[in-house]
Amino acid sequence: MNALVEDLSGSKPLNLLKGLDYSILQQCMHCGMCLPTCPTYDVTKLERHSPRGRIALMKAVAEDKMETTKALGEEMYYCLGCLACETACPAGVNYEHLFETARAEVERAKVLNKPFRQTMRWLFLKMLFSHPRFLRMLGRFLWMSQASGLQRLARASGVMSLLPRYWRDLEKQAPTVCRYFSHELIQPLESPAKPRFQAGMLTGCVQDILFSDINRDTVEVLLANGCEVHTPSLQYCCGSLHAHNGDLEAAREMARRNIDSFDLDQMDVIITNAGGCGSHLKHYDRLLEHDPVYAARAVLWSQKLKDIHEWLDEIGLRPPVPPLGSEAEQTVVTYHHSCHLCHGQKVSRQPQDILRSVPGIKLVELKEADWCCGSAGIYNITQPEMAAQLQNRKMENVAATKVTLVATANPGCHLQLVNGALQKGMNVEVRHPVSLLAQGYRNEVRGNK
């Protein structure tokens, strides 16, 4: 609707790719350095499934050489959005911006619209991920069914076999919900003995109900490093899900609400612990650049937004003191990069440094550690086949390290690895680096006592 109004007023062309600043498209010099890093090109070896191929298609649409067709829509949703191409690109192409715009154009042109798809989009984007209370309600319901044994009963009874295969496969991947959500574990204000910094804490949406323990661990790690932590009890989705699925308007609304949740001037930093969210949260400045009310604060927001590992590294992490008599115990851990943490935010060294700082942890290298695991937001739901291939490849690399503990810093990757281990019958636990660090601090206290 908005796009239509803009078009009638003559200020902006209807086609979003045509409306895009052309120099962003032109920045791609099609050298091909992105090709070997692109998971979909790697599997298919077809140029249209590569970053430079997709950019060429976007450019063709912008130049009127091609229409926004259904095939184009499918291509844009076949892309994982892992941004490995951004790391490989010598010319600094902003692929994320291009890919978000292309998907928004696909939605505007309605080339993929089907009643079922639109219902699902409404349910996920407009309901669950726009209203945190709905999400928490669903979380409660899931927790109750899991805790009461209802889920096990349903699975055992064979009721699930009545579902179509796609839903059955999806149901098997249903994550385990935490008993307590973030606001039940974290006080709105928590202070260390001597506060050095004021930190705003983002608890996320999925993270809030599935990994509230990681949020709690993040707060403890911040406290242990002299940060006073401000955590609003009801928080909104960061909007990355909306932005990456062609709903930029909803993404902007989420951004405004999040900005309103914090007294930005009082904060030294706003902390996120989820790689995928962080990559999007840091771009609120670009998302809201034309917003007359929010543009300036969005710039401030983007300046202050930091990934937890990045922040700890910046202020100088206090390494946990090894408890007495614990030298012999060593846990071997490997680290899987969240794409949007290492490619989107270029944070790759810091989480590994943090892991190395934890007493009793030995970090070993994971082959293809920065290769996408196939989770990619909701890609594993929309493109199950490709997602499964990537998951398989990831789990084989994990198996080759022979570790029983993988660290990763993004809820999507976390779930994908847990499910991958489950499917392959691998004895592998998945933890957030910050949880392992928090454990290190807790052992410290226990050791001293």
Contact positions vs another protein (CB under 8 A): 22-23, 26-27, 29-33, 35-36, 45-48, 50, 52-54, 56-57, 60, 65-66, 69, 71-72, 75, 90-92
d(CA 368, CA 199): 34
Please tell me what DSSP assigns to residue 372.
-
Query: 3-class SS at 231?
Result: coil
CB of 18 to another protein, least distance (A): 15
Q: How far is the CB of 400 from another protein (least distance, A)?
A: 18
Q: CB of residue 35 vs another protein: minimum separation in angstroms?
A: 5
Cα-based angle 194, 317, 269 (whole degrees, multiple of 5): 65
Interatomic CA distance for residues 371 and 356, integer angstroms? 22
- Closest to another protein by CB, 70 vs 424, is 70
The sheet carrying 305-307 orders its strands as 189-190, 227-230, 197-201, 269-272, 305-307
- Whichever of 46 and 123 has its CB closer to another protein, that residue is 46
| Residue 56 to residue 237: CA distance in whole angstroms | 32
Give the Cα separation of 44 and 179 in Å (integer): 42
423 residue type, one letter: Q
Question: Which is nearer to another protein, 78 or 197 (by Cβ)?
Answer: 78
Residue 38 CB, nearest approach to another protein (Å): 10
Nearer to another protein, 35 or 406 (CB): 35
Dist CA 104 CA 250 (whole Å): 11
Distance of CA 361 to the CA centre of its chain: 25
CB of 54 to another protein, least distance (A): 8
Q: How far is the CB of 74 from another protein (least distance, A)?
A: 9
- Which residue number, 32 or 447, has a Cβ lying nearer to another protein? 32
Choose between 46 and 156: whose C-beta lies nearer to another protein.
46
Please choose, from the candidates 240, 229, 328, 320, the residue with its C-alpha nearest in 3D space to the C-alpha of residue 280.
240
